[in-house]
Amino acid sequence: TVASLVERGGVQIARDDVVRDEPTNNIPDTIFTKLGMQLHRRNQHPIGILKNAIYDYFDTNYENKFVKFDDLCPIVSVKENFDDVLVPPDHVSRSYNDTYYIDPQTVLRCHTSAHQAEILSRGHRHFLVTGDVYRRDSIDSTHYPVFHQMEGVCVFSPEDWESSGKDGTAYAAEDLKKCLEGLARHLFGAVEMRWIDTYFPFTDPSFELEIYFKEKWLEVLGCGVTEQEILKRSGNSDNVAWAFGLGLERLAMVLFDIPDIRLFWSSDERFTSQFWEGQLGIKFKAFSKYPPCYKDMSFWINESFTENNLCEVIRGIAGDLVEEVTLIDNFTNKKGMTSHCYRIAYRSMERSLTDDEINDLQWNVREQVQSKLNVVLR
């Protein structure tokens, strides 16, 4: 059978992808309660400390030219989040599976790029936008449905590049790379870096910057030369611009040695008391490592099953007590039925969990996975 489709925000989605009762709103309470927390505006919080360190870099190197926004509402229109930055109508990021919709025209921004077009139209030519962004995703120690990004945009006029002998695009691309390599050195000291060609709907060419840290290449930001269409619409027809968007948690986990992304949301003093305003790179000392507890569950999936929906249900019950959800087995039988087995790791950052507590959580998870996702437990 074909899953029934409904249209939301201009996209076709499976009716079953909508986890919540209200068919046009897929935002659970665990997410709503994060609105307004503004970790990036706390000067003693690692996210705020990092934001301020990046501000310092731009203030010093660009004579305070960059105007800063860090208080823009995370509730934006579909137009701002997607259309204005040229995200195609059928792009996956628009789906109810990937983005939190308040109603068919309104989302929780999934990137700070949602503010580019408006700020450009207001005439700004150099700006930084910091804020909380929201994405439906799977669960592990580096992914959380709310995180923070900083967007940077810099516009050039013909006189900026004409004397360089380059065209505007080449000039902006070079300036962009120089700026971001400088930022990476400002934050990390002497690090190995590499540029990867990539694709974003709003930039061309587009790049990712990776830095080599603890024996791994780590993607820290996306960037590129702004699509001319965006500039044209904002009254910048003759100009050229670059833009970047960087994930603050990613960088902060490395800079402060924070092992799990859930810790940023902890109000436990043993976490919050370790950081000081203006002190980038204090190494976090884990107060204790409580043991994880693993529970497996297997079920026959249906056509509309997605891992993001599963994770949302689990998070709705276990909150920040769930550390990781991993697919450990996947097979299709002769009748064409597909079975998934997921391993759920429960672990508190702050205390030991009791067996009773975990069994309770797991019982609820099994119940709700069955009833909300319409899968058949095995």
For the stretch 148-183, what's the b/e string if a residue is b when 16 or more beta carbons lie within 10 angstroms of its beta carbon? bbbbbbbbbeeebbeeeeeebbebbbebbbebbeeb
309 interacts with ligand PHE by CB under 6 A: no
Q: Name the residue among 292, 159, 171, 295 with its Cα closest to residue 225.
A: 171
Stretch of residues binding ligand PHE (CB under 6 A), selected from 40-48, 221-229, 327-335, 338-346 = 221-229
Please, which residue, 20 or 177, has the CB nearer to ligand PHE?
177
- Phi, psi (5° rounding) for residue 74? -75, -10
Residue 111 interacts with ligand PHE (CB under 6 A)?
Answer: yes
Pick 201 or 319: Cβ nearer ligand PHE: 201
Q: How far apart are CA 104 and CA 58, in angstroms?
A: 37
3-state secondary structure of 170: helix
Residues 153 and 126 sit within 8 Å (Cβ to Cβ) = yes
Count of Cβ atoms closer than 10 Å to residue 237 Cβ: 9
By CB under 6 A, name the one of 245, 254, 260, 349 that touches ligand PHE: 245
Biggest alpha carbon–alpha carbon distance for the chain: 72
276-305 binders of ligand PHE (CB under 6 A): none
- The residue (of 48 and 224) whose beta carbon lies closer to ligand PHE is 224
Contact residue for ligand PHE among 180, 240, 243, 314 (CB under 6 A): 243
Contact between 222 and ligand PHE per CB under 6 A? yes
* Subset of residues 54 to 83 that bind ligand PHE, contact rule: CB under 6 A: none
Q: Determine whether 219 is exposed, middle or buried from the number of CB atoms within 10 Å of its CB (0-12, 13-18, 19+).
A: middle
Q: Which two tokens stand for residue 365?
A: 């998870």
Q: Which stretch binds ligand PHE (CB under 6 A): 5-13, 51-59, 197-205, 335-343?
A: 197-205
**Pairwise CA distance, residues 318 & 160, whole Å:** 54
Omega of the bond leading into 201 within 30 degrees of 0 (cis) = no
Q: Tell me whether residue 241 or residue 317 sits nearer to ligand PHE (CB atom).
A: 241
Q: Rule CB under 6 A: say whether 136 interacts with ligand PHE.
A: no
3-state SS record for 303-355: CCCCHHHHHHHHHHHHHHHEEEEEEEEEEECCCCCEEEEEEEEECCCCCCCCH
131 vs 316 by CB, closer to ligand PHE = 131
Does position 131 bind ligand PHE by CB under 6 A? no
CB of 116 to ligand PHE, least distance (A): 7
Question: Binding of ligand PHE at residue 99 (CB under 6 A)?
Answer: no
Q: Judged by CB, which is closer to ligand PHE: 206, or 304?
A: 206
Neighbouring CB atoms inside 10 A of 72's CB total 16
Residue 25 or 112 with smaller CB distance to ligand PHE = 112
Binder among 25, 26, 99, 203 for ligand PHE (CB under 6 A): 203
Q: Which is nearer to ligand PHE, 100 or 342 (CB)?
A: 100
| 219 SS3 class | strand
Q: Which is nearer to ligand PHE, 202 or 271 (CB)?
A: 202
Return the number of other C-beta atoms located less than 10 Å from residue 355's C-beta.
Answer: 8
Q: Kindly tell me which of 39 and 225 has the beta carbon lying closer to ligand PHE.
A: 225
Among 81, 113, 130, 308, binds ligand PHE (CB under 6 A): 113
- Least gap, CB of 11 to ligand PHE (angstroms): 19
The residue from 19, 128, 223, 231 that contacts ligand PHE (CB under 6 A) is: 223
Tell me the residue type at 311.
C
Kindly state the smallest distance separating residue 136's Cβ from ligand PHE, in Å. 14
Q: What distance in Å separates the CA atoms of residue 94 and residue 135, rounded to the nearest whole number?
A: 11
19 binds ligand PHE (CB under 6 A): no
Q: What is the size of the binding site for ligand PHE (CB under 6 A)?
A: 12
Binding site for ligand PHE (CB under 6 A): 111, 113, 151, 200, 202-203, 222-224, 243-245
